[in-house]
Chain A
């Protein structure tokens, strides 16, 4: 089943007087359960593509369809609702809410979705256990290592049982061991839950985990094939 479809998407940015075309007529789709890497050098458009897939931004033209819904014309509230239900995010920086502990950070999307307290608790503990942090529930981000923070972010991305998780350079700020651990966890969760994972990266070690690699250059897809 197709979870994301991007069709003839164009996205341009204006920096001063200069117009930069970040994505130039890009089309691709992602099936449920995929583990896909968007790869390419800096400025190739992979983060922009990820943002459009994640309803964080809107294309100048073209269509973005998430689970059959054309979201290109959704307003801010509708996009927020869709993100809440269908999409989990893992960012390059350890994007946790600094004043909430690990448990509360994972619980946050469940609260936003109105999940009942008992269900919330069991899901949070299950996910923190799955990422190996069941002993870190009360630690705040500044009391955890970068690797631990990113694992909390992975747990949080999966809390609402989304149909896809979008990860932007998830290992860029981690050392090799922690980076591999984060990727292994994402791979395991992908296999266990069937959630599609799409991650943008230019790290060859991360690409090695992908079952499908989409290569971008200058805002265009130049290669789409099986993993490395």
Chain B
């Protein structure tokens, strides 16, 4: 039988029960819309956080001495890179590299008359593009100059908690490479605000040479940080920079804890996805079973006219397909509207962001459109709806014509 006629019977049957059809496709649409929204939100937060982490903390690649352990923030000479400038120059020459520069990390305590805070000291090359986010985030004072011997920059959040402003003097104590505590008075040259609370709270920047002098590390550096034009070239560039006396870490390794945290969270969302899909499946199965029960006699007539069982199955599957496709359209509209809202307005979470140490998230979280993911979710919805409709369709098809014709 021409599929067109079965299609006609299916959609007219749906049209005959408009209210039920509307409720069902709105249920499918809401389910899919919710999944698209959740997915866009998670993808947005994850992508934003990863990009922020790469931009502010890890870079795309880091080259370190093989014995360097980041957690210890060691300043021992054997744990530091002795040829950091050479490595940075070699990296900078590669076309895939946006910027590369040595960094020296140290732990320190910043004191004012009334307050103190522990933080990480970053000895940086201020002119490097690696520090554009700090330069762009300047909210008070001025940006560091490479030859500044007495200036440091701190985050706005730290400045606020210490009650200091640009131009004020503070004491910075660092345990140097010889294991001795050195306290030096610095001037707050500038205050920046990146919007990432965990970063604005615990860092102080100074020129690399000044940090090296303070920590007594000579011209050594903790790492050479590299930023690429495209993060997908990280492995390729890492291979080119690999040398016997250095370890090369890519952004994946540098953010492994953060990526694992997100994968675990994504796993929980998959369970939520499954629950939503099951609810949609139950609604569809219920709607189609009601349609079958209402039309048992009609199925008997069609069987009497010679319609075969597989054609009865196709008729109900077509009905499910129409419901699914219309529901998917509703879902795509609702989901896209939700994602659009969260992508432009975001959700303000404020200080909660600072409680998450491993994940650099801002105070406002934004969603992102992911057409591929929307396509997959739509396909899944269609598949689930068709699976859910198999039982009602099978139930209809196995009715004996004689029983169906005499149904009340």
**What 1/0 mask marks residues of chain A from 96 to 114 whose CB sits below 8 Å from any chain B CB?**
1111100010011101111
Among the stretches A81-89, A144-152, A191-199, the one at the interface with B is A81-89
B271 sits at the interface (CB 8 A): no
Q: Give the docked Cα–Cα distance between A104 and B8 (Å).
A: 10
Structural contact, A111 and B306, CB atoms closer than 8 A: no
**What 1/0 mask marks residues of chain B from 102 to 118 whose CB sits below 8 Å from any chain A CB?**
00000000000000000
The 8 Å CB contact of A80, one of B12, B13, B16, B308, is B308
A57 sits at the interface (CB 8 A): yes
Structural contact, B305 and A109, CB atoms closer than 8 A: yes
Q: How far is the CB of A156 from chain B (nearest CB, A)?
A: 8
* Given contacts A57-B402, A95-B297, A104 and B5 within 8 Å (CB-CB): yes
Structural contact, B304 and A98, CB atoms closer than 8 A: no
**What 1/0 mask marks residues of chain A from 67 to 87 whose CB sits below 8 Å from any chain B CB?**
000000000110011011100
* Given contacts A97-B9, A98-B16, A56 and B305 within 8 Å (CB-CB): no
* Given contacts A56-B401, A56-B405, A111-B5, A89 and B305 within 8 Å (CB-CB): yes
The 8 Å CB contact of A108, one of B5, B12, B297, is B5
A35 sits at the interface (CB 8 A): no
Structural contact, A83 and B305, CB atoms closer than 8 A: yes
Q: Give the docked Cα–Cα distance between A54 and B301 (Å).
A: 12
Residues of B within 8 A of A57 (CB): 400-402
**What 1/0 mask marks residues of chain B from 292 to 315 whose CB sits below 8 Å from any chain A CB?**
000001100111111111010000
Across the two chains, which residue of chain A brings its CB closest to B400?
Answer: A57
Across the two chains, which residue of chain B brings its CB closest to A83?
Answer: B306
Task: Apart from A83-B304, A83-B306, A99-B16, list 19 A-B contacts with CB within 8 A.
Answer: A56-B400, A56-B405, A80-B309, A81-B306, A81-B308, A83-B305, A89-B304, A93-B297, A95-B405, A96-B301, A98-B16, A99-B15, A100-B12, A104-B5, A108-B302, A108-B305, A112-B305, A112-B307, A112-B311
Q: How far is the CB of A71 from chain B (nearest CB, A)?
A: 14
* Given contacts A98-B16, A99-B13, A99-B16, A80 and B306 within 8 Å (CB-CB): yes
User: Counting chain A CB atoms within 10 Å of each CB, which of B297, B302, B309 scores highest?
Assistant: B302
Q: How far is the CB of A124 from chain B (nearest CB, A)?
A: 13
Residues of B within 8 A of A91 (CB): 301, 405
B372 sits at the interface (CB 8 A): no
Residues of B within 8 A of A84 (CB): 305-306
- Dominant SS among interface residues on chain B: helix
Structural contact, A109 and B306, CB atoms closer than 8 A: yes
Q: Give the docked Cα–Cα distance between A83 and B297 (Å).
A: 17
B239 sits at the interface (CB 8 A): no
Q: Which of B3-17 contact A (CB under 8 A)?
A: 5, 8-9, 12-13, 15-16
Q: Give the docked Cα–Cα distance between A107 and B4 (Å).
A: 13
The 8 Å CB contact of B306, one of A51, A93, A97, A112, is A112
Count of chain A to chain B residue pairs whose CB atoms are closer than 8 Å in the complex:
72
Across the two chains, which residue of chain B brings its CB closest to A57?
Answer: B402
Offer 24 A-B interface pairs, CB within 8 angstroms, sorted by A: A56-B405, A77-B308, A77-B309, A80-B303, A80-B307, A80-B308, A81-B308, A83-B306, A89-B304, A91-B405, A95-B297, A95-B301, A97-B298, A97-B301, A97-B302, A99-B8, A99-B13, A100-B9, A108-B5, A109-B306, A111-B5, A112-B306, A114-B1, A156-B305
Residues of B within 8 A of A76 (CB): 308-309
Q: How far is the CB of A127 from chain B (nearest CB, A)?
A: 14
Residues of B within 8 A of A85 (CB): 306
Q: Give the docked Cα–Cα distance between A156 and B302 (Å).
A: 12
Residues of B within 8 A of A96 (CB): 301
Q: Give the docked Cα–Cα distance between A109 and B297 (Å).
A: 17
Structural contact, A98 and B298, CB atoms closer than 8 A: yes
Residues of A within 8 A of B298 (CB): 97-98
Residues of B within 8 A of A107 (CB): 5
Q: Give the docked Cα–Cα distance between A56 and B301 (Å).
A: 10
Residues of A within 8 A of B5 (CB): 104, 107-108, 111
**What 1/0 mask marks residues of chain A from 132 to 167 whose CB sits below 8 Å from any chain B CB?**
000000000000000000000000100000000000
Residues of A within 8 A of B304 (CB): 54, 56, 83, 89, 95
User: Counting chain B CB atoms within 10 Å of each CB, which of A56, A84, A109 scores highest?
Assistant: A56
Residues of B within 8 A of A93 (CB): 297
